[in-house]
Amino acid sequence: MLGPLQRLGRWGLGVFERLGRGHLFLLRILLSLGVAVTRPRLVIKELYSVGVLSLLIIAVSGLFVGMVLGYQGYITLVKFGAEEALGSVVALSLVRELGPVVTALLFAGRAGSALTAEIGLMKTTEQLSGMEMMAVDPVKRVIVPRFVAAFISLPLLAAIFSAVAVMGGYFIGVGLLGVDAGSYWSQMQANVDFYKDVMNGIIKSLVFGFVVAWIAVFEGHDTVPTSEGMSRSTTRTVVHSALAVLALDFILTGLMFGDI
Amino acid sequence: MTTRTIEIAVGIFVALGLAGLFMLAMQVSNISEYRNTDGYTVHAYFNNIGGLKVRAPVTVSGVRVGRVTAIRYDPERYQARVEMTISANHDYLPADTQASIYTAGLLGEQYIALEPGGEDDVLVHGSEIYYTQSAFVLEEIIGRIMVNMTTH
């Protein structure tokens, strides 16, 4: 009778303990952020592996998402004789939602999992303890540069994604399906507001960048130092990042656009 | 991979990201409209503004000269008060200019069309446009036609 209750309690305690450790770890990261300014080279090196190497998948996905949006938008709009509005449909769905969200999901899969695996392997092979033995703070030397690089990369990647996708929608809508190029851009500019739409999209991608970077470095640092533990941490990074991004997107959308 | 190559690649990445942001701002959104906000503000009262929205265009003979900046209901006059900002280089509109709310296309957005009058005084900051024509509401017109047809 009390057995299942005890299991539930143990599970709950475990969840809260992990949450607490995650926040304490975040606090440690934030307190050591200064190292990103004093040693920018460390961050630049991580920007390469986290940002530059994600560029290809982001640009290609952006192009295809934009082209699909161009097709689907056109097919729906042409029924109402409103295919001139294709530009605003493509741009609004991209800058408000798809740009930040899809980029964050791809980024968690491409870069977040890599960060977790890298840090986790460092912990498993006791490189992190080795650094501590040499009086090098592993949070400053290893964690903070990766956290900062991921936090910077995501908004930039989201902007690239949206820009490439708008061009993809242009290729399909204007190049293939014959929407007028002038009305594609003018409808877009008439209906996309810089502060309400573009800025809110950038805020979203900043929040997602923070959360994905946090989850990735925490899972790596908190990994059980076995091969099985590492595979679990890597999986958890992708799953938890995706869930966090989607849930936060719902909340942020409600806060930003709910008052209309 | 040398440090130099890595740094160049990161530089290209950051530049691309900023270019993407720049394109979203300049090409996709309407930030260019926010720049020239200098102008003078006039207001007008309408019985019915239909679907007029803030930031709707204000035109003279179809040429855009400004935009709607605020809409609120005036509880003393029982009318809608519409404020519009007209850019400073269009400072020649006569004081008896008429403002009408029209619709661009059959289902398009609504805008304010100004028709210049004949007075020598011109509209300045804070002026009121006295001659206004409300939005065209389809149901109202149909209702009037129905009344006319049934009374004859």
- Pairing, β B57-60 against β B63-74: antiparallel
- Nearest Cα neighbor of A252 from A106, A104, A109, A148 is A104
CA-based nearest distance A246→chain B, Å: 23
CA B84, CA B56: separation in Å to the nearest integer?
Answer: 9
Which residue of chain B has the CA closest to A81?
B107
Cβ–Cβ contacts within 10 Å for residue B38, how many?
Answer: 9
Q: Closest Cα of chain A to B90: distance in Å?
A: 22
The verdict on a CB contact (< 8 Å) between A198 and B10 is no
Chain B residue numbers with beta carbons less than 8 Å from the beta carbon of A183 are none
Residue to test with chain B: of A39, A45, A48, most B Cβ within 10 A:
A48
Sign, CA dihedral A65-A70-A72-A73, equals positive
Strand partners, B79: B74
Chain B neighbors of A164, CB-CB under 8 A: 20
pLDDT tens per residue, range A212-255? 999 999 999 999 999 999 999 999 999 999 999 999 999 999 98
A162 touches chain B (CB under 8 A): yes
How does the average pLDDT of chain B come out, rounded?
A: 85
Q: Which pLDDT band, with edges at 50, 70 and 90, does B137 fall under? A: confident
**DSSP states along A100-130:** HHHHHHHHIIIIIHHHHHHHHHHHHTTHHHH
**A247 touching B (Cβ < 8 Å):** no
DSSP code per residue over chain B? --HHHHHHHHHHHHHHHHHHHHHIIIIIS-HHHHH---EEEEEEEES--TT--TT-EEEETTEEEEEEEEEEEETTTTEEEEEEEEETT----BTT-EEEEEESSSSS-EEEEEE--S-SSB--TT-EE-EEE----HHHHHHHHHHHHHH-
Residue pLDDT, tens place only, B55-75: 788 889 988 888 888 899 999
Q: What integer pLDDT is reported at residue A39 of this predicted model?
A: 87
Which residue do the tokens 């450790």 mark? A21
A10, two tokens: 């143990």
Q: What residues of A are in contact with residue B111 (Cβ under 8 Å)?
A: none
Q: How far is A260 from chain B (nearest CA, A)?
A: 12
Residues of B in contact with A190 (CB under 8 A): 30
pLDDT digits (tens, 9 = 90+) for A43-70: 999 999 999 999 999 999 999 999 999 9
What gap in Å lies between CA B101 and CA A225, rounded to an integer? 70
* Full pLDDT tens readout for chain A, 260 residues: 788 889 999 999 999 999 999 999 999 999 998 888 888 888 999 999 999 999 999 999 999 999 999 999 999 988 888 888 888 899 999 999 999 999 999 999 999 999 999 999 999 999 999 999 999 888 888 999 999 999 999 999 999 999 999 999 999 999 998 888 888 888 888 888 888 888 999 999 999 999 999 999 999 999 999 999 999 999 999 999 999 999 999 999 998 887 65
Q: Could you give the 3-state DSSP secondary structure of residue A249? A: helix
Residue B1, burial from CB neighbour count under 10 angstroms (0-12, 13-18, 19+): exposed
Coil, helix or strand for A138?
Answer: helix
Minimum-distance CB partner of A198 among B6, B12, B29 = B29
What are the boundaries of each domain within chain B? 1-35, 37-142
Q: Please give the share of chain A, as a percent, with pLDDT higher than 70.
A: 99
The edge-to-edge listing of strands for the beta sheet with B57-60 is: B128-129, B39-46, B79-87, B63-74, B57-60, B110-115, B98-103, B131-133
Best interface-test mutation with A: which of B6, B24, B32, B53 has the largest number of A CBs within 10 A?
B24
List, as one string, the DSSP characters of A172-238: IIIIIS---HHHHHHHHHHH--IIIIIIHHHHHHHHHHHHHHHHHHHHHHT--SSHHHHHHHHHHHH
Inter-chain CB proximity A156 and B17 less than 8 Å: yes
Q: Searching chain B, which residue's CA lies closest to the CA of residue A170? A: B28
**Mean pLDDT, chain A, whole residue set:** 91
Asked if A234 has any chain B CB less than 8 Å from its own CB, the reply is: no
